[in-house]
Amino acid sequence: MKEHQGSLFFVFLLCFFVEYIHAILARLCCFGQQCASQNLYFHLCKIYASPLYFNKTAIHLSNIGVTQLAALPSLVADRQDAGVPRQLRNFYIKRVSNQRTYKDKTMPYNVILVGTGGQGHAWCQRFLPPNIQDGLLNVVAAVDVNPAAFKNAQEYLGLPLEKCYTDTARAFAENPADFCVIVTPPAYHEAVVDIALAHAMHILSEKPIADTLEGAVRIAEKVKRAGKKMGVTMSHRFDQDKTTLRQELRSPRNGALDYLICRFTCNMRNFGDWGAHFRHTMKDALMIEGSVHHLDILADLAGARCDTLYAQTWNPPWGEYGGDSQGLVTMQFANGVRAFYEGAKTNAIGLNGWAQEYVRAECENATLIMDRRRVERHAYAGGRIYKREGEGAEIAPLEQAKWMNTWLVEQFVQWLDGGPPMETNIEDNLQSVALIFAAIQSSHTGQPVRVQELLETTRRQVQAAL
């Protein structure tokens, strides 16, 4: 034990010398050794001329207190301008519980992307690059069952072929990372989550959490027990038009919200029209792959959890789907707000498709309409006045650099940096998952479903089984 303390004291002195003298030109590689009896190992510093350069630095503490190491993190914090690479980037001081007590927020997180084809193409091309450019993350490996999809990771993320894998377990074993991004069909999410948690990684996943409510609750419980963070990318709620509508809806000038209407209609009736083939073969494709966004948006605009939900879903004869592709949903929220949703994938024409949805909010003092990205306001001006949609006062769209998943990646990183939990953290996002499975249950039984009771019953069952 004295040997460990003496070696650590030597590192402190060396770091102090580098910090104030800037004269060490020779690289000094410190030791790495493990003491099983103390659950203690050090894999410490590589020091260059001026910057303090930490390579996969980790100090796991068992019987040694954090206070004995307090000087080192403060020294590193003072040198954030040194541009320390976060390729092995994190300087950790953490207990064996894996609770991080320090991290250099200036350096990018290492990330493994699971899924580079289909929606994964958008992650490679659109969502990840802006955050890489901002220094928030660095993609160290990519996984896809189809090697042909590797071209997306190679072209847009600059990954070499040897960092592209068809074997998820091997990719995680060979590439230390801080978190993974899951862009696979929902039925495969839990398997990837298990591998990520086994490697002590945080997780950012495409919606929904899983393809069953039980699976979603089970994943949330596993993440909680592992002490990790998991976010879900409910991209459409964080699009520019919805964010603009949300801000206007929250303005006091509109008064109390009475009810909401949402329309999402497409002409994607032929096999393959909706992109990946699994959407045409799975059960309840509309709810799980589509309405998960729109019911989430309605709940967010309503400003309360859904109390009761009634739904009818079906697939018309001309719809080339293995499950229901059309649906009508009525919702009542805990604050008294009501909502109605129309979702369709097999109509003759698409009036309000992806990113072009229609939402109307009926408020005490105004009617707010979002239609194909344009937001307008019709103020109450007395009785017996009729107008057409499009005649209201246009609300200027909010402006910012990032929207949708690009913005959510940034929110997730800020959460990892010690900021507040992202709005779509897994625990809160269980509400969105509960909505779609309540709708599926309601359609099957023909009865309204009490959403919170369904979620809590499922939670108790899952917790008892784990």
The whole-angstrom separation of Cα 453 and Cα 170 is: 40
Segment 272-288, tens digit of pLDDT: 999 989 999 999 999 99
User: What's phi and psi for 394, nearest 5 deg?
Assistant: -70, 135
Residue 88 inside a domain? The answer is yes
45: left (phi over 0), alpha (psi -120 to 50) or beta: beta
**DSSP per position, 167-184:** -HHHHHHHS--SEEEE-S
Total domains present in the chain: 1
Residue 153 inside a domain? The answer is no
pLDDT of residue 302: 98
pLDDT per residue, tens digit, the chain (466 aa), is 444 445 545 544 554 444 444 333 333 333 333 333 223 322 333 323 222 223 333 323 222 233 223 333 333 333 333 333 333 333 332 323 233 333 566 799 999 999 999 999 999 999 999 999 999 999 999 999 999 999 999 999 999 999 999 999 999 999 999 999 999 999 999 999 999 999 999 999 999 999 999 999 999 999 999 999 999 999 999 999 999 999 999 999 999 999 999 999 999 999 999 998 999 999 999 999 999 999 999 999 999 999 999 999 999 999 999 999 999 999 999 999 999 999 999 999 999 999 999 999 999 999 999 999 999 999 999 999 999 999 999 999 999 999 999 999 999 999 999 999 999 999 999 999 999 999 999 999 999 999 999 999 999 999 999 9
Q: Which residue range is the domain that position 67 belongs to?
A: 2-95
Residue 451 inside a domain? The answer is no
48 SS3 class: coil
Residue 48 inside a domain? The answer is yes
| Helix/strand number for the chain, H first, E second | 15, 22
The whole-angstrom separation of Cα 283 and Cα 275 is: 16
Find residue 449's DSSP bridge partners. Answer: 309
Residue 45 inside a domain? The answer is yes
Q: In what order do the strands lie in the sheet with 109-114?
A: 164-165, 137-143, 109-114, 179-182, 202-206, 230-233
Residue 44 inside a domain? The answer is yes
pLDDT of residue 10: 53
State the first-to-last Cα distance of the chain, in angstroms, to the nearest integer.
Answer: 39
Cis preceding-peptide flag for 208 (omega within 30 of 0): yes
Residue 330 inside a domain? The answer is no
Q: How many CB atoms lie within 10 A of CB 397?
A: 13
What is the reported pTM? 0.78
Segment 399-413, tens digit of pLDDT: 999 999 999 999 999
Strand spans (E) along 89-166:
92-95, 109-114, 137-143, 164-165
Residue 458 inside a domain? The answer is no
